[in-house]
Structure 1
Amino acid sequence: MPGTNLTRDEAATRAALLDVTSYSIDLDLTTGDKTFGSTTTLRFTCTEPGASTFADLVDATVHEITLNGRRLDPATAYADSRIALDGLEADNTLVVRADCTYSNSGEGLHRFVDPADDRVYLYSQFEVPDARRVFTTFEQPDLKSRFTFTVTAPDHWVVVSNAPTPEPESLGGGRAVWRFPETKPMSTYITAVVAGEYHAEFDTYVGKYGEIPLGHYCRQSLKEHLDTDVLVELTKQSFQFFEEQFDYPYPFGKYDQLYVPEYNMGAMENAGCVTLRDEYLPRSRQPRSFFEFRASVITHEMAHMWFGDLVTMKWWDDLWLNESFAEWACYWCEAEATEYTDAWTGFANARKQTGYRADQLPSTHPIAADNVDLHAVEVNFDMITYAKGASVLKQLVAWVGLEPFLAGLRDYFKDHEYGNSEFKDLLAALERSSGRELESWAQEWLQTAGVNTLKPAFELDETGAYSSFRVVQSAHPDWPTLRRHRLGIGLYDAGEDGALVRREYLEVDVEGESTKVEKLIGTKQPDLLLLNDEDQAYAKIRLDERSLRTAIEGLSRLDDSLARALVWGAAWDMTRDAEMPTTDFMRLVLANIGQETDAWGVTRIPASTGMAVRFYSAPEHREALRAEWEQGLRTLLLEAAPGSDHQLTFARSYAAAAHSEQAVAELKGLLDGSFTVEGLAVDQDLRWGLLEALAGLGEIGEAEIDAELERDNTISGKEKAAAARVAQPTAEAKAAGWAAILDPATPNETSREMVMSIFRFGQEELAREYVEKFLEAAETCLDTLGFHKGSVVLELGFPRAACSPEVVARLDEWLATSTAPKAAKRYVSEARADLARALAAQACDAG
């Protein structure tokens, strides 16, 4: 039985048969707190009268089905999440009246009651295939239509959808109805309904094509944190940039951004009705990297209005193109149009690293994945789709040139507006605009997996100049493709003041196993040679011996932040690949991170280092390394400028690393005020971080967690309290936490917080007890929890602290014999790869 799955072939057959004229959707949100009324009137044509097809509807109680005036029995017509439709006519009208179910997983229509004030908030989340949890659909991206929503809700609520919000009509008894105008043509997955007691603020963008009404919404309990001026400025900057660059007016009339609770994604590009995590409205001080990331999310979703919403992929094979393009475009917009002019440095230090990691897992796949069905889509919605895809598009822009790239995009938007396309359509537009053949480029970059490694190979003459120079390219034997790279090479020297300054830069095209660089012959060897300078290529790079020594001695003396990001990345790759001891990497970080200027470098690198100290260090000297790391962070904290991002990051990192008597006492002192650091505000979020760290050490218990929750009776407080409870090093805390994680009734974000906290380094014995329990859960949790919540458990919840050759062997055995779903096996294989990598790194660190 297909269940909630849908194959690409089924979708193609249905798309060839049908053309969807319109949806009229009536939702009644006043019928209770478990279900809501949903009546869909769906009008469509059929190219083969007499044929059969099906409509989609999930987790509903169906009361009535009428097809062309003919009543169908729900008991027989509705089964396995599908409504069978037989005897179609040339023109058809389907009416389905049902009760649908609210979710607590962020899929479909999510219902949330704010513990701060008991107000109710609803929002929809439909990507990839979840509109069918709210109304009857033909759930595939290439059956676009126009939508008319009519929503009945309590009369004091706010209701927002894709079309402009109408004035509500009173129905009496505290109820009202909102009759939204018809939308532009769009796919089901970008429709949206948001309703509840939201706070709203409004503005208007006036641009080259006219006025666009802007709305910003959040929960009432967060309105003091809605920094509307900042958000509006960023929104207007992005609109001006994209309308100019794309040479196409914003297509959907108005633009609302709604910050919603318990969101299971970062944000969603619903046409004209963007939903975002309300954690992006921080209640405590956050570093610049937080706001830089928020800006990238806002610009990412806006880019989707053109790429994804106006022009939509025909099937999810081209999902990568939607997300990769929006990811590339958001950093491009940030760097060119906002205050975050060094956005590409942050991309290199943070986002791109997630792509490199994903591409070295056994589950790696081509960017253009073969998504044969919805199950494949859900599994392949990953950092290869986002981070690697954006990196490769950046390489494509370097390959063809920005102006030809934009010229092709502009034609593409005009040629396919409000329609569906495939990647070949974009490729053809880019070939016309650039005059370059791109099919072979697409083949090697989009249809193959894995990341290449680039190394310098050279000889020096008696004067210290290069007498030969090559760039050597290699690939993992499982993914052996050698690719063409447009590559910058930078030569950096130490000046009289000690600063490392670039004296020469050249660009070359690297191809095959070895590429000669004749332009460097006779050039004096620099103190630091940097392959992929300017970060145009997607590849791991290696530093030669002299360059690595220069970096270790004084990376902070390198005056360019993007160049530093590339060196940081190279050193981290070498550590992960067991080519550089963890001890050396940790000391590189301690010596240089205090002078780092990139916001993402400041926050991300200490987090990675802390993991490496606990996971990649040799067990025989791990305690000594932990002590050195803890004390190094303490020094960095006390020496950081008061109130700086460095200070905040080092405080968080120190809390995570704390284990000595002195550190424990200071963490407790920060909580009770007996230990202070000038300029450090111990606000609510930092308090929870300190409490979770102390709970993980067994230094506080339930009483202290309960007391903090009384101070912070918010959904964030409840989630952080749950994380602190499961952090405790007791069998009872782990058992209760694991049961809650596997309970479908646990809200998605509470479950996520617990998953990320429960199995901790330093609690190895407790973690070992859960290897078998995790494998048992892997057999069923995707079904019992739903794909999203189940995948969070499987991806983040493996007890990696139980790292040993014996556990690797057990995972190999399980992978060979288990009948678990393919997606579950994928996550277990990734955990197994993480353990194998850690064991190799530990051996390297042992010397």
Structure 2
Amino acid sequence: MPGTNLTRAEAQDRAAIVATESYVVKLDLTTSPETFRSVTTVRFTATPGASSFIDLIARSVEAITLNGESLDPATHFADSRISLPDLAAANELVVDATCAYMNTGEGLHRFVDPVDNEVYLYTQFEVPDSRRIMAVFEQPDLKATFAFSVTGPDHWQVVSNAITPQPEPAGPGTATWTFPATGRISSYITALVAGPYAVVRDSVQTRAGTIDLGVFCRTSMLPHLDADNVLAVTKAGFGFFEEMFDAPYPFTKYDQLFTPEYNMGAMENAGCVTINELYVFRGKVPDSTVERRALTILHELAHMWFGDLVTMKWWDDLWLNESFAEWASTVCQAEATEWQSAWTTFCTHEKAWAYRQDQLSSTHPIVAPIRDLHDVEVNFDGITYAKGASVLKQLVAYVGRDPFVAGLRTYFAKHAWSNTTLGDLLIELEAASGRDLRTWAQLWLETAGVNVLTPQIDSDDRGLVSAASIAQTCASGDQQLRPHRLVVGTYDVIDGAFVRTGRHELDVDGENTPLPMLIGQPRPALVLVNDEDLAYAKIRFDERSLATVLAHPRGFAETLPHSLAVATVWDMTRDGEMAASDYLPYALAVIDGERDSALLRNLLAQVHTCLVHYLAPEHRDDAHRLVIARGLELAQAAPAGSDAQLQLVTAYAALIAPGDDTTTLAGLYDGSVTLPGLSLDTDMRWTLLTGLVAAGAAGDEQIQAELERDNTSTGRERAARARASAPTPAAKAVAWACGVEDVKTPNSVIQALAAGFNRATDPALLQPYIARFLDGALGIYESRTHAIAEEINGFYPAGLAGPDLLAATNAWLEEHTDAPAAVQRVMAENRDGVARAVAAQERDRAGA
């Protein structure tokens, strides 16, 4: 029985029989708080006499009419499918169904704003959830036009892919919006957003003419919406992408809607982009968060061409869809916005994510075998997004920027409104560049894992280089050595600062690549392999270079080589080549004076990981006291109102534990202690209070008082996190019951509870949940939606990373070899993180 799954073979068979033409979808959103009525009319052609099926997830189906003949729902609707027998050459199907609102961030999500009790709706369909609101051939290569008709309260805004029409009265207090048909698009990028959303409107001049822009959020969030910044980034993206792709914007308008309880960053619905409401900032946020929002905006805009106008044929090219948007948005951000150091952030964030993912036991080729929808759901990962984008960056260096762009332009012109595969893009890139990319694709896209590049430098008694090369080894995956186009930078130290003395661009291939240009030259203080970060590979230092980097933690003036050096030292710590106790003083020295927001955020997270996971348990108390004391000093010394001040105070609050002096934290919270320039806004108050609760210095009375001050959905989530952070067995038990067992808890609250639950310095608080989590894991994945199961995985007691948790997780994997692949993968990745922590702890115990 298929359940809610769909295999690639089934999709191919169906596409051989069916060709879709149009959908008319009528939705009545006034029927009840739990369900809504959906009437879908589908027109499609088919092989005469053949049978097929259409997808639908619904509470019930009231009527099915195929070519004028009634089909009994009792016999034709089962397992999320409606069977379609004896098809004609031209067919019309009408399905009348009752569908359910969701509280999981999937399908049609329903949210009630606690501020004004207004209802807000939005859809999220990727991968297979458009079938939660309509009968649909749910696969990307069966494109069609979509015309929605929506009945709802007449004071709502209703937004979809096409231009919003004037509503027509439909009864007392209700209206109907009848949208024009879209162009031919895939069902997963259709969308519906409805509710009393506030909107800021503008327009942009494009090659297609004047395009109307809208920025939407809940009415209660409007005071916090900085629409001017959102629109400025959007307009910069329009101009950049139209020029780069040499193709006009393909849709009739462009709305961006910030929606609550969202599962991801954003979604590229055609002309109707939904974005996580966390990007509406209620208070001061790190500069890196504003930069990330800009990248998200540009990522989704790039998808309007790559993904929406031209769409993958099947989900095995999902990586290309997402990786291209990652690459294109970073190029745009670096070249057309204020964030000109975007490639530094890419190195700090995206590549670090890719390297982590690529060293898990679940690593897979970029072009992953996607057998069914379940495979798609678990492959939204660092390989799909970040490694793919890194490899595209390498490909651009390999073929050249101009040929790469020329190939893209031909690709869009040739395949507009259709479906493609990777091969279609490679054909155009080969034609534009003159390079054979088949071998490149095989090595980079069809194998898994990451390589390590290490300089090997010898010098004579005069200090001149006598031998120099780059050794390539494999860190993970298929043990495949790969070709790399990269830059080797050489640096000396002048007045305590690194000065680049040489730049050498070359191809690295095989086990050993000579560096003849260094022979006979004075040995550099530092050799930086992959300077400029063109290649996708982990790097190491030769002995002298490592000593130089550690001795001059703030030696770089430029952010990109600085981020590469910092990332390498951290990677050595993750790999157990450096003791966590030795990493911490280096990291604190880098943090002192760090002004790159994204890098500072990463460094603070890495210090936290060392303290919780990588230090030997017997070293943690002393290290914790050191970091807490130094962290407070750095926060107090940071420039008033600076990004560093904000991040350091936030990190300090996140590390406070029972037994620590909470005087300063409590004073900041109640106002008796001040830091010049620190904004005590609503979100900062929650940050400080959560730290006090986690240290046992505040409790439910203070949480309830703060919630009354901030009676919003975000306040509800922050209160849940604070309560779950309390260092008591009762708090952890309540968090578990609400987050894991209560099926009515919405997705965003589960996420908040999980974050608080795992904040515990006393192992006894989490110890009982090793068995409880492992015993219930299979049932969670069988009974809950994929998105909710992913959130509940946050209750895996990772704070107990050590031999006991490792042994228990390994035992689970050994005992559940027949579990669904998605569950096995998640549990294996949990295990991998613990195994890495155990190895790091052993290295730390052994000392320097």
Could you tell me the TM-score, scaled by structure 2's length?
A: 0.98
Q: Which of 301-310 and 803-812 deviates more?
A: 803-812
TM-aligned CA deviation for residue 665 of structure 1 = 1.5
Structure 2 match to 1:482: 481
Structure 1 match to 2:578: 580
The AA in structure 1 aligned to 2:298 is T
TM-aligned CA deviation for residue 454 of structure 1 = 0.7
Asked whether the equivalents of residues 363 and 477 of structure 2 are also in contact (C-alpha less than 8 Å), the reply is no
1:78 equivalent to 2:74? Answer no
TM-aligned CA deviation for residue 139 of structure 1 = 0.1
TM-aligned CA deviation for residue 820 of structure 1 = 3.3
The one of 532, 537, 540 aligned to 1:534:
532
Q: Secondary structure at the match of 1:63?
A: strand
Q: Secondary structure at the match of 1:492?
A: strand
Residues in 2 aligned to 1:716 and 1:524: alpha-carbon distance in whole angstroms: 59
TM-aligned CA deviation for residue 804 of structure 1 = 2.5
- Root-mean-square deviation (Å): 1.2
- Once the two structures are superposed, residues 697-737 of structure 1 have per-residue CA deviations (whole angstroms, 9 ceiling, x without a partner) of 22222111111111110000000101111111222211111
TM-aligned CA deviation for residue 803 of structure 1 = 2.4
TM-aligned CA deviation for residue 523 of structure 1 = 2.1
Structure 2 match to 1:461: 460
The AA in structure 1 aligned to 2:617 is P
Q: Secondary structure at the match of 1:801?
A: helix
TM-aligned CA deviation for residue 684 of structure 1 = 1.2
Structure 2 match to 1:813: 811
The one of 703, 716, 719 aligned to 2:717:
719
Structure 2 match to 1:800: 798
Structure 1 match to 2:438: 439
TM-aligned CA deviation for residue 635 of structure 1 = 1.1
The AA in structure 2 aligned to 1:845 is D
TM-aligned CA deviation for residue 478 of structure 1 = 4.9
Q: Which of 313-322 and 585-594 deviates more?
A: 585-594
Structure 1 match to 2:256: 257
Matches within 5 A, 1:362-373: 362-373=361-372
Structure 2 match to 1:784: 783
Structure 1 match to 2:425: 426
Structure 1 match to 2:166: 167
- Once the two structures are superposed, residues 321-367 of structure 1 have per-residue CA deviations (whole angstroms, 9 ceiling, x without a partner) of 00000011111100000000000101111222111111111111111
Structure 1 match to 2:12: 12
The AA in structure 2 aligned to 1:5 is N
1:392 equivalent to 2:388? Answer no
Residues in 1 aligned to 2:404 and 2:189: alpha-carbon distance in whole angstroms: 26
Residues in 2 aligned to 1:611 and 1:807: alpha-carbon distance in whole angstroms: 17
The AA in structure 1 aligned to 2:375 is A
Structure 1 match to 2:274: 275
Asked whether the equivalents of residues 105 and 747 of structure 2 are also in contact (C-alpha less than 8 Å), the reply is yes
TM-aligned CA deviation for residue 770 of structure 1 = 0.4
Residues in 2 aligned to 1:273 and 1:60: alpha-carbon distance in whole angstroms: 27
- Once the two structures are superposed, residues 383-441 of structure 1 have per-residue CA deviations (whole angstroms, 9 ceiling, x without a partner) of 11111111110000000001100000001111110000000110111000000010111
Asked whether the equivalents of residues 30 and 36 of structure 1 are also in contact (C-alpha less than 8 Å), the reply is yes
CA gap of 1:701–1:11, structure 2 versus 1, over 3 A, is same
**Unaligned runs of at least 5 residues, structure 1:** none
Q: Which of 615-624 and 36-45 deviates more?
A: 615-624
Residues in 2 aligned to 1:477 and 1:565: alpha-carbon distance in whole angstroms: 23
Residues in 2 aligned to 1:752 and 1:231: alpha-carbon distance in whole angstroms: 26
TM-aligned CA deviation for residue 763 of structure 1 = 2.6
Residues in 2 aligned to 1:241 and 1:478: alpha-carbon distance in whole angstroms: 37
Structure 2 match to 1:737: 735
1:696 equivalent to 2:702? Answer no
Residues in 2 aligned to 1:602 and 1:458: alpha-carbon distance in whole angstroms: 31
Residues in 1 aligned to 2:554 and 2:475: alpha-carbon distance in whole angstroms: 32
Matches within 5 A, 1:598-747: 598-659=596-657, 663-742=661-740, 743-747=742-746
TM-aligned CA deviation for residue 95 of structure 1 = 0.1
TM-aligned CA deviation for residue 672 of structure 1 = 0.8
Q: Secondary structure at the match of 2:403?
A: helix
Residues in 2 aligned to 1:477 and 1:671: alpha-carbon distance in whole angstroms: 46
- Once the two structures are superposed, residues 739-767 of structure 1 have per-residue CA deviations (whole angstroms, 9 ceiling, x without a partner) of 11122211000001111220224031121
Q: Secondary structure at the match of 1:509?
A: strand
Residues in 2 aligned to 1:661 and 1:61: alpha-carbon distance in whole angstroms: 56
Structure 2 match to 1:597: 595
Matches within 5 A, 1:325-344: 325-344=324-343
Structure 2 match to 1:359: 358
Structure 2 match to 1:25: 25
Q: Which of 677-686 and 423-432 deviates more?
A: 677-686
Asked whether the equivalents of residues 658 and 694 of structure 2 are also in contact (C-alpha less than 8 Å), the reply is no
The AA in structure 1 aligned to 2:554 is S
Q: Secondary structure at the match of 1:556?
A: coil
Residues in 1 aligned to 2:53 and 2:249: alpha-carbon distance in whole angstroms: 34
Asked whether the equivalents of residues 695 and 728 of structure 1 are also in contact (C-alpha less than 8 Å), the reply is yes
TM-aligned CA deviation for residue 463 of structure 1 = 2.2
TM-aligned CA deviation for residue 550 of structure 1 = 1.7
Asked whether the equivalents of residues 395 and 486 of structure 1 are also in contact (C-alpha less than 8 Å), the reply is yes
Q: Which of 463-472 and 313-322 deviates more?
A: 463-472
CA gap of 1:71–1:842, structure 2 versus 1, over 3 A, is same
Asked whether the equivalents of residues 500 and 559 of structure 1 are also in contact (C-alpha less than 8 Å), the reply is yes
**Unaligned runs of at least 5 residues, structure 2:** none
Asked whether the equivalents of residues 238 and 337 of structure 1 are also in contact (C-alpha less than 8 Å), the reply is yes
Asked whether the equivalents of residues 488 and 534 of structure 1 are also in contact (C-alpha less than 8 Å), the reply is yes
Asked whether the equivalents of residues 613 and 837 of structure 2 are also in contact (C-alpha less than 8 Å), the reply is yes
Asked whether the equivalents of residues 356 and 451 of structure 1 are also in contact (C-alpha less than 8 Å), the reply is yes
TM-aligned CA deviation for residue 477 of structure 1 = 6.0
Structure 1 match to 2:244: 245
Residues in 1 aligned to 2:658 and 2:771: alpha-carbon distance in whole angstroms: 32
- Once the two structures are superposed, residues 598-644 of structure 1 have per-residue CA deviations (whole angstroms, 9 ceiling, x without a partner) of 22012221112111122101222211011111111111101100100
Q: Secondary structure at the match of 2:799?
A: coil
Asked whether the equivalents of residues 657 and 761 of structure 2 are also in contact (C-alpha less than 8 Å), the reply is no
Matches within 5 A, 1:371-390: 371-390=370-389
The AA in structure 2 aligned to 1:550 is T
Asked whether the equivalents of residues 765 and 802 of structure 1 are also in contact (C-alpha less than 8 Å), the reply is no
Asked whether the equivalents of residues 747 and 791 of structure 2 are also in contact (C-alpha less than 8 Å), the reply is no
The AA in structure 2 aligned to 1:366 is P
1:57 equivalent to 2:53? Answer no
TM-aligned CA deviation for residue 661 of structure 1 = 5.6
Asked whether the equivalents of residues 658 and 696 of structure 2 are also in contact (C-alpha less than 8 Å), the reply is no
Asked whether the equivalents of residues 666 and 675 of structure 1 are also in contact (C-alpha less than 8 Å), the reply is yes
Structure 1 match to 2:747: 748
Q: Which of 160-169 and 348-357 deviates more?
A: 348-357
- Once the two structures are superposed, residues 513-554 of structure 1 have per-residue CA deviations (whole angstroms, 9 ceiling, x without a partner) of 111111121222222211110001111111122222222222
Q: Which of 497-506 and 49-58 deviates more?
A: 497-506
Asked whether the equivalents of residues 404 and 430 of structure 1 are also in contact (C-alpha less than 8 Å), the reply is yes
Residues in 1 aligned to 2:196 and 2:723: alpha-carbon distance in whole angstroms: 31
Residues in 1 aligned to 2:414 and 2:477: alpha-carbon distance in whole angstroms: 40
The AA in structure 1 aligned to 2:156 is W
Structure 2 match to 1:92: 91
- Once the two structures are superposed, residues 270-322 of structure 1 have per-residue CA deviations (whole angstroms, 9 ceiling, x without a partner) of 00000001110100101110110000000000000000000000000000000
TM-aligned CA deviation for residue 9 of structure 1 = 0.3
Asked whether the equivalents of residues 359 and 477 of structure 2 are also in contact (C-alpha less than 8 Å), the reply is no
Asked whether the equivalents of residues 161 and 191 of structure 1 are also in contact (C-alpha less than 8 Å), the reply is yes
Residues in 1 aligned to 2:69 and 2:658: alpha-carbon distance in whole angstroms: 75
Structure 1 match to 2:451: 452
Structure 1 runs (4+) deviating above 3 angstroms are 659-663
- How many residues align? The count is 844
Identical counterparts, % of pairs: 51
Residues in 2 aligned to 1:663 and 1:551: alpha-carbon distance in whole angstroms: 34
Structure 2 match to 1:43: 43
Asked whether the equivalents of residues 3 and 80 of structure 2 are also in contact (C-alpha less than 8 Å), the reply is yes
Residues in 2 aligned to 1:624 and 1:283: alpha-carbon distance in whole angstroms: 36
